Amino acid sequence: MAIKKFAVACYDDEAVLFPAIDKVRNSGYKLHDVYTPFPVHGLDQAMGLKETDLHIAGFIYGITGTSTAVGFMSWIFTKDWPINFGGKPHFSLPAFIPITFELTVLFAAVGMVLTFCYLNQIMPGVKKHVFHPRQTDDTFVVAIELSEHTSEAEVLAFLKSTGANETNVQVAESEWWYGRFDKKEAYELS
């Protein structure tokens, strides 16, 4: 949660976007994020993002579901409320397997959806700063994080030289926040 200063550049074309990202990374600027109207293949590699750990989280959620199901059913049918079903033993593992399977899938699925939302900072009722209203329409938006020492004019000139058709500097909240209003309004209200 921090207010930061960003240089924003808009591009029309993927063919311009990829070399521009390369140039931004090579010249040492800190790439905040790239916003595109649709998923672009190869963008992760171009931005240098590391492989996601979502599947490890999924495995942990799945194992949690498995042990919850087996543990809970074993406790119920052997200790808490043993019932004789057709002469089967109280601890009948084969009969538990379908429910164990379902709970494994349920835990993994729900857990991974929530983790995915957390990692991408999306959730109903939370808001994130929008750098350019057309980033969901037809514009590729690159945001660079600036420090106090960076010269704004220099950055903007550099971005222009990479083929950006629109550039500006914005001061904005870098993370997500709870509420439906812009952070600026929230500051004005307080």
Cα radius of gyration rounded to whole Å, the chain: 25
**Least spacing, CB of residue 57 vs other proteins, in Å:** 14
Which residue number, 93 or 113, has a Cβ lying nearer to other proteins?
A: 93
89 lies in the site for other proteins, by CB under 8 A: no
Q: Out of 3, 98, 138, 184, which residue is the one contacting other proteins (CB under 8 A)? A: 98
The one among 55, 90, 160, 184 contacting other proteins by CB under 8 A: 55
Distance CA(35)–CA(44), nearest Å, equals 12
- 167, 41 in Cβ contact below 8 A? no
Q: Does 94 bind other proteins (CB under 8 A)?
A: yes
Least spacing, CB of residue 77 vs other proteins, in Å = 15
Count of residues of this chain found to bind other proteins when the rule CB under 8 A is applied: 9
**Interacting residue with other proteins among 15, 49, 97, 105 (CB under 8 A):** 97
The sign of the torsion formed by the CA atoms of 166, 14, 162, 42 equals: positive
Handedness of CA 115, 118, 121, 126 (dihedral sign): positive
Least CB distance to other proteins at residue 94 (A): 5
Taking the complex as a whole, the smallest distance from the CB of residue 157 to other proteins amounts, in Å, to 37
| Binding status of residue 86 toward other proteins by CB under 8 A | yes
**The pair of three-digit structure tokens given for residue 139, joined into one six-digit string:** 């514009």
Q: Is residue 43 close enough to count as binding other proteins by CB under 8 A?
A: no
Query: Does the protein bind other proteins through residue 59 (CB under 8 A)?
Result: yes
Which residue of 16, 31, 95, 156 would you call a contact of other proteins, by CB under 8 A? 95
Binding residues for other proteins (CB under 8 A):
55, 59, 86-88, 94-95, 97-98
